[in-house]
A and B are shown apart, each in its own frame.
Chain A
């Protein structure tokens, strides 16, 4: 099985609104696949169908070799989802959140699994604080950590960095790269072009209900006129300035 995800002729409407008008794409095992699209283009709808939360009107969707309509139980067994809004339990502590998911995934040693993930995601110091006291970045990290319990071979991240500050965003990117490095397939949606450029092996653009291009970054670049060499003074972006100042502060 070479493909983790195979989508053919996927259609979905909400009442009169025809959101997906025949979507086709494939995601190779072990790759990072980025789905780009503007707000309301249907990215989340695709994620919901692929994770068995929503039924399509027509089309064929195979995830990890299982049909999402015929074998939803097998699909759920082999995936994990980090939704658009950090779905952490705010009243529970970080550790309790992870232990809860570990118990629901029936892993052998829930406490150990939780402790390992807390350490790996830099949350060990905050482990016994309620998630409601976490910053946006910490919450997102906990959210992603919860999705990694049970080590599913395919992880869905729906706009994982929306609303995060630049530092937290870079931290999430690091996590995603590490995941892919360990052989996990990552399906990512984003509205930030830079994010797709940074992370993805393959980029698909969803526009008006269809995938209009799906290729590697290098191939996408070839679609445009060849690069010209020009000498321009490079001004630092505000983001670079921000990160540089923060970095200095941390060193002091």
Chain B
């Protein structure tokens, strides 16, 4: 294995620490021992190829999965998936899930007293194109209460899961909305130690992405871990 194929080290402060006591669920679930640092082998430099067979046309539009259209503010969320070297990550699977406009997930464990929307399931998926671009059409999720602390509310967010080309590019994250007054109060958002890294989880309102007379647009670029050097194309 050529050393240039190995991935760049992770910068400190980028990812949350396992134990984040303000997020109560971490207290009994965060490992207490430090992870053992290993060299990157073929086991990590490879990973599942999650490609076109998982996606059909229309899976990127969460507003047309039922007979009627969901209630709420229609939005467009689009962006580019890149690696640290600025190289687009093409043909990779993005999975997205969210609650409805009232702040309720279609999930049996969600007991929030807010209505389900018969026209909204809240999950979609898409493959990035040749230049790493993706686009979802959905409705803006609501805020919802959770039992983490007294009067705790999650800011509106979309969950994203991205595969990337190897085990080391795997990423699950959340996208937030600009100007949300709940962000400074949210232990999950604030679990990212680095302020700039945290703020990169907030989508940017984008007039270019906005479609006149139809929907506001937001731009959310995603950057995956990159290799030490771009491998030679064979």
Q: Say if A and B assemble together.
A: no
